[in-house]
Amino acid sequence: MIVKSVAMQAYQNALKAQQGAQSGLATSVKKSGGSNSGGFMEAMKGSLEKVNAMQQEKSALVESFAAGKDQNVHELMISLQKAGLAMNMTSAVRNKILASYQELTKMQF
């Protein structure tokens, strides 16, 4: 059945993307290897660049779908969810960093 094969293809694509992300994470952990290779700022910068890339991919897929060039709804919805989740996580991390900063400013030395 066509619907079943499309769903299976979307699942396999998502699985490959997840494995690629995990291997990229393992590579970046090996690169840092305990030495101070940029620290927190580099990690945050890399993370924000990945979130930005997801947002740009989402926008491109939405525009392509709206223009009628692409009819792959599954891939579009997966991209929307990934970008939304990444943005929510980024917002949560930002909120935690701000809360930590505020706690530090309240401390008396």
pLDDT digits (tens, 9 = 90+) for 28-83: 555 555 455 678 888 889 999 999 999 999 999 999 889 888 888 888 899 999 99
pLDDT digits (tens, 9 = 90+) for 1-41: 455 566 667 767 776 776 776 666 556 555 555 455 678 88
Each domain of the chain, given as residue ranges in start order, spans 38-106
Question: Is there a contact between 37 and 31 (Cβ–Cβ < 8 Å)?
Answer: yes
Model-level pTM? Answer: 0.59
Nearest CA-CA partner of 84 in 109, 108, 62? 62
